[in-house]
Amino acid sequence: MTSDSDTSAGQNAVLIVPYQWIGDFVRIHSVVKLLKSQDKSRPIDILTSANNAPLLDYMPGVRKGVVFDIPRNRPALTANRALAARLRAESYDHALVMPRTWKAALAPWLAGIPRRSGFVGEWRFGLINDVRFGEKKLPRMIDQCAALALPANAALPADWPLPKLAVPETEIAAWRVRMNLPDDNRRVVALAPGAVGPSKRWTLAGFQQLTKNLGLDNIDVWIAGGPGEKSLAAEICAASPNARDLTGTDLRNAILALAAADVAVSNDSGLLHVAAATGTPSIGIFGPTSPWHWAPLNPLAAIVQADIDLDCQPCHKPACAPGHHLCMREIGAEKVTRLVRAALENPAARVTPLRLAS
């Protein structure tokens, strides 16, 4: 799980305890790059779930991942003690604890890491000894997380370092052979139709029609996602013979598919962050969420939103309270198809979500 040549141990070592949602996890690479700009020799490790661990293999500057799944929805004291024993052996000097829960800070405290930075959260005084305030004044997740890598009350920079997932071409080639995806010079568009919460998902009919349209252009379509998207992928594939279901339990499959594609199309989800960080021209479909708040830091090929004014948008809710879901239903497949074709013709063209008004 080492993705950097830095092999120094102990001295000034930092542990990052990130949120484990995939998109937030990718954002953490900005923090890694920020820390490296302050001290290039500083070893940086990241606490990771087993699901997210493959991402660390492609993050330059990360020494290793500490793979440990803490049970959710209960204190899990035994598990935290076991994790603390592992952390203590690494002799970390500093822990950046991104989640605001007391449980996220428990193992670093039990491990005796001298400096433990985090926002006040669930009144974690003692567990966190470099306590930060003012999180509510930082509306974006990247500002909240990266601020912990700066001195308390420091002014935030205008721009954070961009996350990067460096995926070797040799690994992509070997993966294509394993997956029986011949590199025959056909163009490929990867689709990520999943998202946490139904309101953030573009319509099945939209993805089906987009896939059919791309088939008319002799473009292959790969569908990336987790096991929860398996049935959705099957319905999209049934609509067109040019589509291939690549969903499954291994996140590495999705990483490689998104990195290998010529263009990626994704809802506001973790895989949009993955695709953008690999450098693949990526099109983000946004309905109930604000691109300014939640889009990747990396520039996108396009941002798609409905061409109507809705009083309820953005609501940032996982389910549509009014029940009409117009913020997604009013996004037509022809519009997305045009944007995909434009990205294929001019892959260098980008828009920067963080320059958009909130």
Residues 319 and 33: their CA atoms lie apart, in Å, by 35
φ/ψ (deg, to 5) at 149: -90, 0
Residues 133 and 113: their CA atoms lie apart, in Å, by 21
**How sure is the predictor about 4, in pLDDT bands with cuts at 50, 70 and 90?**
very low
Amino acid, res. 352: T
**End-to-end Cα separation, the chain, in angstroms:** 37
- Phi/psi class of residue 126: alpha, beta or left (left: φ > 0; alpha: ψ in -120 to 50)? left
Given this structure, which CATH class describes domain 14-147?
alpha beta
Evaluate if residue 111 carries a pLDDT over 90. yes
Q: Which residues make beta-bridge pairs with 192?
A: 266
Cβ-proximal residues to 5 (8 Å cutoff; 6+ apart), any chain: none
Residues 243 and 125: their CA atoms lie apart, in Å, by 52
Fold of 169-355: Rossmann fold (3.40.50)
Residue 25 contacts residue 35 (beta carbons within 8 Å): no
Structure-token pair, residue 331: 């996004």
DSSP string, 264-277: EEEESSHHHHHHHH
Q: What angle do CA 309, 310, 316 make, to 5 degrees?
A: 125
- DSSP assigned state of 54: H
pLDDT score, position 354: 52
Residue 353 contacts residue 295 (beta carbons within 8 Å): yes
Structure-token pair, residue 82: 């076991």
Evaluate if residue 263 carries a pLDDT over 60. yes
User: What three-state secondary structure class fits 250?
Assistant: coil
Domain with CATH 3.40.50.2000 in the chain: 14-147, 169-355
Structure-token pair, residue 340: 């995909």
**How sure is the predictor about 205, in pLDDT bands with cuts at 50, 70 and 90?**
very high
Length of the chain: 358
Evaluate if residue 24 carries a pLDDT over 80. yes
Structure-token pair, residue 277: 């960080």
pLDDT tens profile 48-67: 999 999 999 999 999 999 99
Model confidence, pTM: 0.94
Q: Comparing C-alpha atoms, which of 16, 152, 37 is closest to residue 96?
A: 16
Using a 10 angstrom Cβ sphere, with 0-12 exposed, 13-18 middle and 19 or more buried, the burial of residue 322 is exposed
pLDDT tens profile 300-347: 999 999 988 888 888 888 888 888 888 999 999 999 999 999 999 999
Residues 184 and 119: their CA atoms lie apart, in Å, by 51
pLDDT tens profile 228-254: 999 999 999 998 999 999 999 999 999
